[in-house]
Structure 1
Amino acid sequence: MASLGELLCSHTDELVHRWYERWQQEGPAIPGMTEAAIKDHLAVQLRVIGESLRERGTSESPRKLWEQPGRLDPEQRVRDEEPIEEVVREYAYVIEAVRLWLDERDEQVSVQDYSFFSIAIFELAAESARRFARCQAEQVARERAEYVAGIAHQLRTPVSTLGLYVQQLEGGKAAPDPQAVERLRRTVDRLSRLVDGILRLERFKPDELPVHPETLAPAQVIDQLVADYEHDASRKGLRLDISANRSARMQVDRDLLVDALGNLIQNAIKYTEKGFVRVTLEERENEVVFKVEDSGPGISPERQRQLFRPVRPEQPGGAGLGLSIAFRSAVAQGGTLELESEPGRGSTFRLCLPRAVRAREGHTEGRVERSLENDASRTVH
């Protein structure tokens, strides 16, 4: 009767190859995945089990094998966004591959050795799940902290502006300047829209976002938003241009339109140091296209692929929050948000909305959520 420990140590590469063939035969659980994350670690793990069997037999608990962090790395699988279900499935294939290999070779191993091996693989999967969950929770906490910091950064500018206006009003002896009062009103409106947009982002999944269309002139919405951000643009010396048909009409949710278009204009001004920001309205047969162009630094292809994913700000105040609000607002209304950009050549965002947006009061069985995922992969050029 052969020692299972000796077999595992002597034939590690062959067993890994057999396992990998089995995994390829079944196919990965994740479409587009070409190689299992545990492949590089499996040889090490099989040798750990084999050496333990060879040196100490079944006297030691299999649970002790995975106390050393270097023997498995579920944290890397979190970073690779591989579901723990896939990892557990792969370890099940390991047991199956070893059993079939022993049968084909007619190897007779002791029940104690094989039980130790099976429990060791089970404990490996369990420990991977535990570490995966712990690492994922820590990652979510970090991202949440960055997200909150990003919100605070977005709120800082209008709040500071409000504080400045209040100081001016407190120190003035005469009646308030009508222009100052108007700027104060716009700042309050801007702050209110930002808070409402964040609340919608927090409270609703994309397929649950209420949509309440009304007939309006989109050019008037553009005028309002440009007026709100004109001070920011002029302070940086930027030219803020509008090209829109004043007679155009559409049925759209005003708040969601302002969420989307306002964040696009704000981002364009924020990241453009010189030149222009241009807002254009284009009418097509069944849709209306709002185009926001800038002469800013442009966006690299790598960064473009990250822009429309769920909010994960790389740093406080990043573009992730505003663009996430804009993207969700577009898709919730049956539209898309498209981007064309090259480093050094500026950026152009296109907000494409149906001319007549459909109303929605509640859940629609994931239709918009699936659209969100599909659009995220196909509308970034």
Structure 2
Amino acid sequence: MARVHKRKETSLLREVFDAIPDGIIVLDLSFCVLSINDSAESIFKVSRKKVVGRSCFEFLPQEIVDIAKRSIREERSVFGDTLTLPIKGKERITAQAVASPIFSQKGNPIGIVVQVKDLSGAKFLSEKTLQEISTHTFEGLIAGLAHELKNPLGGIKGAAQILKSETTSPDTIKCAEIIIKEVDRLNLLLERLKGLQPFARETFEPVDIHEILSEVIYLESKSSKKDINFIENFDVTLPPVIGDRDSLKQVFLNLVKNAIEAVSVNGTIEISTRWITDYKLKGENAISIDIKDNGIGIPKDNLEKIFTPFYTTKRKGSGLGLFLAYQIIAKHGGAIFVESEPGKGTVFRVYLPVSKQEREDIQSGFLTYG
């Protein structure tokens, strides 16, 4: 009975440990990892199984290691400054770390606990004020814009058409044509803004992500004037995700269209799916959908603005597609990232959560997918 109680207590402590939103890393005095929680796995993109028992120097940035060393040396909690830290590859996060020594009952230091708060999300949102607007307010904004602008634009276009038909002056005709063209462009923008209102109509249900991707590839391969080489690299063990099918399809249509625009006539676009083993979304298992092209790439300065509404480098672009994609994926509890190198290509990575129970059911053979 005592053993059962002990196991339950241990299990509960583990669940509490993993539920902490900040990354927690427990070290011994030789700086080997004794334990990490789910949030630490997510922040540093490591697997608990791979890092426990190994030196923290292998994955912790030097700035955090220095804080841990100082906490042991001074035998007190040490609060670090807000830092921009490299994690893996070119990815960086904004974080703040606190390190505290662990003492035995006799008062001797026996280890260190490091707490890391990932501030990247807060920083990202603060730089994109429109993305802070609630869904309800955002829908109201769109509806109001459409209502207020539709009638005046119709009047302006009508007046320009009359002016064009009643004048013989080439300059006046040219000005009227410009007015008509710009009104048409604004009307198109309004239609695109209306497309930013999927939220109230969303229906969340199991969705086969491969079915959506196959449809997108088929549609774009038929409609594109370029001879694109599409490569499919799908992990057939992936389960459905819980989401709104139409919204997710809109995201991947947009990302594939962007890739097509970026590549040459005989360009290559690879679409792959996989389990993520070194990253979690709020403690949940996740899958990744990668859309990779060998196109012109995106300059570094543009990458920071790429999900900002109305930001575009395209002559006929509205700057709404990627903003909408970001909104939809965030609504699904996921994340979207971009990596690019000018002259070599771009990869968009979409992470979507899969519940722990769903993955366990698949591994146990309870769920099958054709």
Higher relative contact order (CA 8 A, sep 6+): 1
Higher strand share: 2
TM over 0.5: no
Bin of the TM-score, shorter chain as denominator length:
0.3 to 0.5
Higher helix share: 1
